[in-house]
Amino acid sequence: MVTQFKENESERARKLDGARVAEEIKREAAEDVARLKSAYGVTPRLVVVRVGDDPASAVYVRNKVRLCEELGLGSEHVALPAETTTAELLEVVESLNRRDEVDGVLVQLPLPKGVDESRIIEAIDPSKDVDGFHPINVGRMMLRQPSLLPCTPAGIVELLVREGVEIAGARVCVVGRSNIVGRPVAELLLQRDATVTICHSRTRRIAEVTREADILIVAVGRASFIRAEHVRAGATVVDVGMNKLTDEDEVRDFFGDEAGKRLKAVRERGFTLVGDVHPLQVGAVAGRLTPVPGGVGLLTVAMLMRNTIQAARLRRGIEEERKKGKG
Ligand code: GUN
Cα–chain-centroid distance for residue 210?
Answer: 21
Respond yes or no: is residue 131 known to be catalytic.
yes
pLDDT for position 306:
98
Q: Do domains 41-128 and 151-298 have the same CATH topology?
A: yes
Q: Which atom of ligand 1 is nearest to the CA of 152?
A: 6
Q: Tell how far the Cα of 285 is from the centroid of ligand 1, in angstroms.
A: 31
Cβ count within 10 A of residue 248: 14
Which pLDDT value is given to residue 16?
96
Q: Which CATH superfamily is domain 41-128 in?
A: Leucine Dehydrogenase, chain A, domain 1 (3.40.50.10860)
Q: Is the CB of 129 under 6 A from ligand 1?
A: no
Active site residue 64: yes
Contact in structure between 112 and 51 (CB atoms under 8 Å): yes
Tell me the domain boundaries of the chain. Answer: 41-128, 151-298
- CB 313: neighbour CB atoms within 10 A? 20
Phi, psi values for residue 195, rounded to 5°: -100, 115
Which one of the listed residues 26, 64, 129, 281 is annotated catalytic?
Answer: 64
* Cα distances (angstroms) measured from residue 198 to each of 213, 219, 228: 11, 11, 19
Q: Is 265 in the pocket of ligand 1 (CB under 6 A)?
A: no
Q: Per-residue DSSP letters for 164-196?
A: T---TT-EEEEE---TTTHHHHHHHHHHTT-EE
Four-point Cα dihedral 213, 214, 220, 222, nearest 10: 100
Q: What are the residue ranges in the chain where pLDDT is below 50? A: 1-7, 9, 324-327
Catalytic residue among 32, 103, 108, 310: 108
Which atom of ligand 1 is least distant from the CA of 180?
6
Q: Supply the pLDDT for residue 2.
A: 42
* Shortest-distance atom of ligand 1 to CA 57: 1
Q: For ligand 1, is residue 127 a contact (CB within 6 Å)? A: no
**Predicted pLDDT of residue 323:** 52
Top CATH class, 151-298: alpha beta
Closest ligand 1 atom number to CA of residue 151 = 6
Which one of 118, 129, 131, 301 would you pick to mutate in the ligand 1 pocket, going by the greatest count of ligand atoms within 8 A of its CB? Answer: 131
- Ligand 1 center to 72 CA (angstroms): 22
Specify the pLDDT at position 320: 78
